[in-house]
Chains A and B, each alone.
Chain A
Amino acid sequence: MADLRPENPYVPERIPDPEKKVVFPPEALRKFEQILERYPTRQAAMLPTLHLVQETWGWISPEAIVYVGELLDQTPAAVFGIVSFYNMYNQRPVGKYHLQVCTNLSCMLRNAYGIYERICERLAVRPGENTKDGRFTVTEVECLGSCGTAPVVQINHDYHEDLTVETMEQILGTLK
């Protein structure tokens, strides 16, 4: 019963390397201070801080997990528990273009799997993985809340809606 489930997502990429400490650049650090002001506890800043980590480095490395733990008075294990629970936190580096294909019911009924298949074929990539040149990542995701304009593919932050295999191919052609 082969399926498209990616490999176990609950395993860290690697053990944090103590030689490779990371710290926020000044701009991100300023944003982090602003985040803290919005919440009565430090722990509540967890999700926005992890979003900030991902904005800064593109993914959440084991070293970044240790760093966030230090910032928010949490153990690395607690932070990793959050990172692995939520889908949007990338536990591995992703390409410049992260294509997230919704295949939930409303999209499936409008050929989302056909689109998904074509993307994988054209980019020669296995679902959930990066292309060899590291520029693209393709992931199957659950409902993106765009069912009235299904099917939808989210590329980085942007939604591309009402797609057909042809329009998807055109969009792929514009991604350089």
Chain B
Amino acid sequence: MEPLKILTANVDKPDSASIDTYLAAGGYESLKKALSMTPERIIEEVKASELRGRGGAGFPTGMKWGFVPKNAPNPTYLLCNADEAEPGTFKDRLLIEKDPHLVIEGMIISAFAIGSCPMAYIYIRGEFWFGAQVLEKALAEARERGFLGKDILGSGFDLDVTVHRGAGAYICGEETGLIESLEGKRGQPRVKPPFPAVVGVFAGPTVVNNVETLACVPLIIGRGADWFKSIGVPKNTGPKLYCVSGQVRRPGVYEFPMDVSLRELIFDHCGGVPEGRKLKAVIPGGASAPMLSADEIEIPLTFDALMKAGSMLGSAAIIVIDESTCIVEVTWRLAKFFAHESCGQCTPCREGTNWLESVLWRLENGNGRPQDAELLLDMSDNIGGKSLCALGDAAIGPVMSSVKKFRDEYLHHVERKSCLPGTRRHRVQELAVAH
């Protein structure tokens, strides 16, 4: 299967972020078309395209837009989720830094469709300082050319966009955490209902869409829902960006229709694992996605196929792990991440993620106890589904899957008090530090 050049059509061009490059490639034509349509017609078109959210949950975008009530007492907001903090994910950064106008055009069309008030926000993670600068410059260019501001292209529609920088909290990628954070609070997720589409930021109806989702919108409006649907397979349509990282020869962002298989992507396009080593495990959808073992990679990378296999496509962040790596250490590192990023609101997640990390750490260092594998599963059971947002569920994904699929390796740690022969520790117990 050949890689696509649709979402990534502009990224390799010189000066790809400038508005002139974008206009030369037919940029903002979709916006002109959209402004001549009714908002209802745009939502219908997006629904017909079967576009599913690219942020992780894969929720149908058109349906999400359809939940926004008409004539709500407070203004409606569109928020672009550029928090991109899922370990393994770096696709949104590519779009923001290399083709910001595609995202901005998508935002203007989407804001028009949902009847957004004159201000929309891009919530970008604070570490993407360069990306925020690129966006600010692109927004200034769009204002200058009349694509943003009052009465856009004579349509009577007003919109401006503000870049809002986060400050280093994974949980702000969760949509209600993002909303709280934008309101100037700690990013602790809200109880649902009410859902953001009814009561979101500043008490108004709110739609939160991922960067890549919004980047698909100009394509759908410009070339039609039928064209979009012709790529991929039913219910998993359109071009998709896959982020491949870890122990693979050619890591990077790859664009494919969603029926590409995990094996093809890793071995044919990314060159397989380095130095003739064997594949051990793959995380198919970012840190939150349960692991797949090496014999499970003959699978199309669709939302549905991966869910059926007990994992998820998530943000399409594929982390490749080869036989030289200790799976307990991998699991420990992910558990450490979730323990650090738990917002502290719900007890099962706040306490549980720390305990997962502690038990994995003692296993990895040869202090494990015979019952620890069962203990990890038991603790996971006490975290999953018992907190407000999905962070707790995400934290147990890698733990449960690795204990179940690599139980022998866990037992080896308990019995021999060391990693499997041939596996390398990436982190020594204590960093040797000079004083």
| Chain A residues within 8 Å of B, Cβ to Cβ | 1-4, 38-41, 43-48, 50-51, 72, 81-82, 85-89, 103-106, 108-113, 116-117, 120-121, 124-127, 141-150, 154, 157-159
Q: Are A145 and B90 within 8 A (Cβ)?
A: yes
Q: Map CB proximity to A onto B116-149 as digits: 1 under 8 Å, 0 otherwise.
A: 0001000001111110000000000000000000
A47-B165, A105-B88, A147-B251 are contacts. A142–B129 as well, Cβ < 8 Å?
A: no
CA of A3 to CA of B119, assembled, Å:
45
Q: How far is the CB of B185 from chain A (nearest CB, A)?
A: 7
The segment from B11-19, B330-338, B374-382 that touches chain A is B330-338
B287 contacts chain A at the CB level, 8 A cutoff: yes
Task: Please report the total number of B residues contacting A with Cβ < 8 Å.
Answer: 69
CA of A87 to CA of B343, assembled, Å:
12
Q: Are B88 and A143 within 8 A (Cβ)?
A: yes
Q: How far is the CB of A172 from chain B (nearest CB, A)?
A: 14
Q: Are A87 and B167 within 8 A (Cβ)?
A: yes
A106-B87, A143-B88, A145-B125 are contacts. A86–B166 as well, Cβ < 8 Å?
A: yes
Q: Map CB proximity to A onto B71-112 as digits: 1 under 8 Å, 0 otherwise.
A: 000010000000011111110110000000000000000000
CA of A145 to CA of B361, assembled, Å:
25
Q: How far is the CB of A94 from chain B (nearest CB, A)?
A: 14
Q: Are B337 and A143 within 8 A (Cβ)?
A: yes
A47-B164, A117-B431, A127-B431 are contacts. A145–B181 as well, Cβ < 8 Å?
A: no
Q: Are B251 and A144 within 8 A (Cβ)?
A: no
- Name which residue of chain B comes closest to A85, CB basis: B186
CA of A85 to CA of B118, assembled, Å:
30
- Name which residue of chain A comes closest to B131, CB basis: A145
Q: Are B319 and A106 within 8 A (Cβ)?
A: yes
- 30 A-B Cβ contacts within 8 A? A1-B358, A2-B430, A38-B162, A43-B184, A44-B182, A82-B184, A82-B185, A86-B166, A86-B167, A87-B168, A88-B127, A104-B87, A105-B246, A105-B337, A108-B427, A109-B247, A109-B325, A109-B426, A113-B426, A121-B433, A124-B435, A126-B435, A142-B341, A143-B88, A145-B125, A147-B88, A147-B246, A149-B251, A150-B251, A157-B130
| Chain B residues within 8 Å of A, Cβ to Cβ | 75, 84-90, 92-93, 119, 125-130, 162, 164-170, 181-187, 202, 243-247, 251-253, 283, 287, 317, 319, 321, 325, 330, 333-334, 337, 340-341, 343, 358, 361-362, 365, 367, 426-435
CA of A154 to CA of B85, assembled, Å:
15
Q: How far is the CB of A99 from chain B (nearest CB, A)?
A: 13
List chain B residues, Cβ under 8 A from A3. 361
A40-B202, A148-B90 are contacts. A142–B337 as well, Cβ < 8 Å?
A: yes
CA of A65 to CA of B248, assembled, Å:
46
7 shortest interchain CB distances as A-B pairs: A87-B168, A46-B184, A86-B167, A147-B245, A88-B168, A43-B184, A106-B245
Q: Are A47 and B431 within 8 A (Cβ)?
A: no
